[in-house]
Amino acid sequence: VLKPVLSAAEAMAKDAPILHERLASVSSPALRPGGLLDDDAESQQTNVANQFEFVLGDSEQGFKDADVIVEKETTTQAVHQGYIEPQAAVAQWQTDGKLTIWSSSQGQFTVRDHTARFLGIPVAQVKAVPMEIGGGFGAKGITYVEPVAALLARKSGRAVKVQLSRPEVFEGTGPTSGTQIKV
């Protein structure tokens, strides 16, 4: 039985069960099989999907020159944005083999690129049209239903609309992840 991990700190602990053996290889092209840094090093065994360090200027000199140094560490929990409108898309194939997708997305280029890759067609054959959205708060930049609508439209030869139900939105469209931040 796998013990539940309920916070970012628990997931990052040294003794936390590894949920994806090569997680680092998923988010870093250099670590993917055949990538520049591909190896099976122990350091790749982590639940940390990404780390960011932002540095502006000469931070070492800044610390030396500072009269006071304040450090703060905080955490955030996973949370769903709670937007009103669910993910929805309409896909239609033209007679020339090109695809048009209308969707409630904040990331039309991502929709275009992911859908083209999913279907194995050139990006130039996909036109993604952004529609007004009923809330997103940054959560509708991910491709969810558009490739499904496109595939069903191709199979049926008709325009197809796919829209998630409210429960499907909460169960299937990942919330923001929990974080641990040190400033």
Q: Over 60: is that where the pLDDT of 7 sits?
A: yes
Q: What would the mean pLDDT of 133-149 be, rounded to a whole number?
A: 90
H or E, element range at 151: helix 146-156
% of residues, the chain, pLDDT over 70: 85
pTM for this prediction: 0.64
- The pLDDT value given to residue 25: 46
Q: How confident is the model at residue 151 (pLDDT cuts 50, 70, 90)?
A: very high
Decide if 133 contacts 81 (C-beta within 8 A). Answer: no
Instruction: Give the integer Cα–Cα distance in Å for 85 and 166.
Output: 9
Please list the helix, strand and coil fractions of the chain in percent, rounded to the nearest 5, in that order: 30, 15, 55
Q: What backbone phi and psi angles, to 5 degrees, belong to 41?
A: -60, 145
Domains recognised in the chain with CATH numbers: 8-44 (no CATH), 88-164 (3.30.365.10)
Q: What would the mean pLDDT of 101-109 be, rounded to a whole number?
A: 94
Q: What backbone phi and psi angles, to 5 degrees, belong to 124?
A: -65, -15
Q: Over 50: is that where the pLDDT of 11 sits?
A: yes
% of residues, the chain, pLDDT over 90: 48
CB atoms within 10 A of CB 145: 25
Query: pLDDT tens digits, residue range 74-103?
Result: 988 878 888 999 999 999 999 999 999 999
**Chain-wide mean pLDDT for the chain?**
84
Instruction: Give the integer Cα–Cα distance in Å for 131 and 105.
Output: 7
At 172 the three-state DSSP class reads helix
